[in-house]
Structure formats: structure tokens, C-alpha cells
Amino acid sequence: MDHLSEKIVGSVCGGVTGVRVFSKVLCPPLGSKDHGDAIVQSVEQSLARLRRDRLDIVFIESHPVDGWAEAVVSQLRPLVSGATIGEIGIFFHDDKPLTRQTLDFLQGELGTVPVEHPRNLLRRDEFYQDLQPEQVFATAPLAGGLLTGKYSAERTVPARFDQFPDLVMDGAFREADRLWRALGSLPGGLTGVALAWVLDQPALRGMVLGVRDARQLRDCLTSLATFRAALPELTASRGSL
């Protein structure tokens, strides 16, 4: 979650029990003077914004440099043993890949490591197939909004697609338009289909759905529920689809 999201969640459910809360840590460049302290401070700041004394998972941004995983483990292991953090996970973008060697190191040090990985109808590529069941959290299930039918190469394109090129790939706008034309008229629309597809993937522990407010969250959940409710009838009549 970003800073604003953490404050919103903290104001809504800061004292609520039975809620699992995750957050992310954007690591400063390895080797910088305050690298280690900054990791711990980032966790402490998240806890303060969320009004909680514990995070179930802290996802750490991967870095394509040697030593970053070792630094993260050395700094955050005391918080895990002290019960401030339940698990340490990893998230990454295409420009900051997670290698098999690094993942093996982390799992050797920490046990099963939760992994965030972009996965959606535009990014159906398989991730490490030997990950443990329910180890992967799917991120960008709507491809930053492309799988809502709101955007295309011809329509307004959010600036975030320039900032996070791994949300989309070559031809993604054309493919999103094709999917929207083919599936947009189904109950729940393309949003419902896209979210249901992600949730039905095997070896998936959860889905990270980025929304800007409560209304957008309700809209996404309503689209998902609408599609799933209609799925039996759609399946029965698939010959006419």
C-alpha cells in the first residue's frame, strides 16, 4: 500500500481484529549509508499509519544487485522473531527480476516466502512452477485498468503505464480491446471475467487489487460476484457463446 492507502486502512480498521494487513517496503539503494535503518523505519512508519502493532506480511521490493536479499533478511529477521512481522515476502517488476538463486536463498533463510507477481489476462505467463501451493499473490489483476474496458491505445491512457511498463506488454492495448469486445457484454463485464480468471488460478494465495476508493472496490467486487453468479448458466449455454 502507498502512504495514503495505509492511512485510509488505518482509519477504517486500525483497531479491528480478524483482519490480515500487508504492506510494502521500497528499499533504498543497497550500500547507501542508511540502507539498513531505512528498511526498519519504513516498516515502523507503515505500522503507525495503519494504527497496528503487527503486519501479517511485509513485501520487500526486489533489487537486481547482489547482496540485497541478505541485507533485507539481516534487518527484518529480528522483527519476525519479535512478532512485529508475520512473514517477509517479495514483490518485483520486470526491471527488478527475482532470480531462482535469490528465491532459493530467501526460502532457505525464511522458509516459504510469499511472492507478489503481476498476473492477469494480458500476462498469462507461468511463474516459477515449483512454488508451493498458495505462495503467490497476484498483482495488477486488471492490468492497471486495461481490463476494465476504460482504456485503449485510442482512448485516454493513464500516465502510470509509462511509469510501470510491466503492467502492459507489446500489443497489450490491442489484446485488451479484443477481450473487451469478446467478453465485455457478459454479466459482470470484462472486469468480472478478469478477476474471476485470476482467482481461479492454481497455487494462488491471494490477489492484490489496487483501488483508489471504497466505491471502486465495491464496483470490482460487484462485477466479480455478478459474473460468478451467472457462470453456471453461461457454462451450460457455452455452445451458443
Write the pLDDT tens digit of every residue in 203-240.
Answer: 788 888 877 777 888 899 999 999 999 999 888 876 54
For 161-183, what is the mean pLDDT?
71
Write the pLDDT tens digit of every residue in 96-149.
Answer: 777 788 888 888 998 888 988 888 898 886 665 567 767 888 888 998 888 887
Rounded to whole angstroms, the Cα distance separating 9 from 118 reads: 23
pLDDT for 149 equals 77
Helix ranges, 89-213 (H): 100-110, 160-163, 172-183, 189-199
pLDDT at 194 over 90: yes
pLDDT for 35 equals 63
pLDDT for 241 equals 44
In this structure, are residues 151 and 157 in contact, taking their beta carbons and an 8 Å threshold? yes
In this structure, are residues 50 and 15 in contact, taking their beta carbons and an 8 Å threshold? no
pLDDT for 157 equals 57
Residue type, 105: F
Longest C-alpha distance within the chain, in Å?
Answer: 64
pLDDT for 198 equals 92
Angle formed at CA 162 by CA 118 and CA 65, multiple of 5 degrees: 60
In this structure, are residues 128 and 175 in contact, taking their beta carbons and an 8 Å threshold? no
